[in-house]
Structure 1
């Protein structure tokens, strides 16, 4: 969590020292408290109407602050292995968990702001809030269970022109399975599929480079090692980790990689 409740509320109290914000202090603080009490759930947190023009001013607060102070530090957070929202290897932006267009009172609430990448914060997620209870986005701060492996990538034949389907991990209990399914459906866009295609097509050559004496077991071992590397370098729900989990779950995919590695031309 990037800020405590008291730290988030202190920003509102400071703003309320100005006459234009003072009449809205109580309702604004109540909205913050409701958000945290319900872990940001879109099924429990309703947007508040603060009156004509107020929402626009709340919306604009983010634009005036995103380049400095706490918000800049959140955007440039060190140590992130991958995007906490979609799992891409890129970070450097901020995503509003409850969309700013609809929940303007949470424009600068740090509990509602998540370091993210431009892939999932440039229109893929958009203004979508939920898909009907319990289908919603994973909240990186409140959904502590999301630290576990949640998904893998199904490699859909024909393998020479494979497509890639995000898939909820088998055995994930309800309602988490529905939450993860909704999340994957709404944060993974074109860049994810391009990245998977590149990784899949270059794997055979990489495998042959590392092990010229190839067998099903050696390829399986290499994919297992790639998974361990991804877990260490990118994180448990990164794109790379999800792809390697998916390959390990499909013997036919491993057999294809073996055959492609045998005929691969090395540089």
Structure 2
């Protein structure tokens, strides 16, 4: 599946599930019953605005309780819904999203590996009413979640991160620029100039927010050693043409996502004439 790309939203209806969760709860039933009529429009607004935090104001829990102290306790209760016991909703739904999401790369960064954690796109500490709203939960790798934490908004109040369920990002978003020496190139990120200006700005913010370049650089070192080996093999008589080989690798990597780390590497190499000339014609390291 995809990196910073359009994911299918959860198949189960977020509003219907919230209603079932609230019916199941015995403790603080009066609070949940009072909150529900405002929470449903809040979820509808979330969907309509595509999770844009500049358009969604957190519900004031003091409006549903008798004191500030009780509101604080009910915030804990709402957040606690995200850690249900095995016999309570939404335990099975959360387990399905974490462990059976069908992903082979992180939707947030493109790193290979199945993401086994869920990120609250709008953080549950700020929006506790959305703590178990499925459309607000996105599979994410541990590293991305550790970088993002509760970050979600810019200083001027706009969205900070790509929303995989809503943003139209199923296209190449960025490439890697290689700075010589090409045997051990220094990397920099180049955002695709063909993107709409708003999306281009959002992609830059997103990649910075998950510290992509630092992580990508370490991954690249391993992959590039294998590319150097393949480049040397392709110079042998009767071997596959190197460009054709990298194009095949790109096609295979792009099946998972146009922005998987492997796809970005192969696409960037093919687009860089100097790097391709080095790999096809220049002297390569003797020991790889």
The TM-score normalised by the length of structure 2 is: 0.80
Query: Contact 1:95/1:121 (CA < 8 Å) preserved in 2?
Result: yes
Name the CA shift for 1:9/1:60 in 2 (closer, same or farther; >3 Å). closer
**3-state SS in 2 of match to 1:120:** helix
Residue 79, structure 1, aligned to residue 102, structure 2: yes
Aligned-pair Cα RMSD in Å: 2.8
The TM-score normalised by the length of structure 1 is: 0.85
| Matches for 1:130-149 after TM superposition, within 5 Å | 130-131=153-154, 132=156, 136-143=160-167, 145-149=168-172
TM-superposed CA distance for 1:261, in Å, is 7.3
Name the CA shift for 1:158/1:69 in 2 (closer, same or farther; >3 Å). same
| Matches for 1:28-107 after TM superposition, within 5 Å | 28-51=39-62, 52=71, 53-64=73-84, 68-90=91-113, 91-107=115-131
Name the CA shift for 1:214/1:204 in 2 (closer, same or farther; >3 Å). farther
**3-state SS in 2 of match to 1:114:** strand
Residue 170, structure 1, aligned to residue 193, structure 2: yes
Query: Contact 2:138/2:164 (CA < 8 Å) preserved in 1?
Result: yes
TM-superposed CA distance for 1:12, in Å, is 5.0
Q: Which runs of 5+ in 2 are unaligned?
A: 1-8, 63-70
Bigger radius of gyration among the two = 2
TM-superposed CA distance for 1:160, in Å, is 3.4
Residue 192, structure 1, aligned to residue 216, structure 2: yes
TM-superposed CA distance for 1:69, in Å, is 0.5
CA–CA distance in structure 2, aligned partners of residues 245 and 135 of structure 1: 29
TM-superposed CA distance for 1:71, in Å, is 0.5
Counterpart selection for 1:246 from 268, 274, 277: 268
- Once the two structures are overlaid, the 10-residue window that deviates more, 62-71 or 234-243, is 62-71
TM-superposed CA distance for 1:21, in Å, is 2.2
Q: Which runs of 5+ in 1 are unaligned?
A: none
CA displacement 1:26-45 (0-9 Å, x = unmatched): 22223212211211011111
Name the CA shift for 1:31/1:135 in 2 (closer, same or farther; >3 Å). closer
Query: Contact 1:134/1:179 (CA < 8 Å) preserved in 2?
Result: no
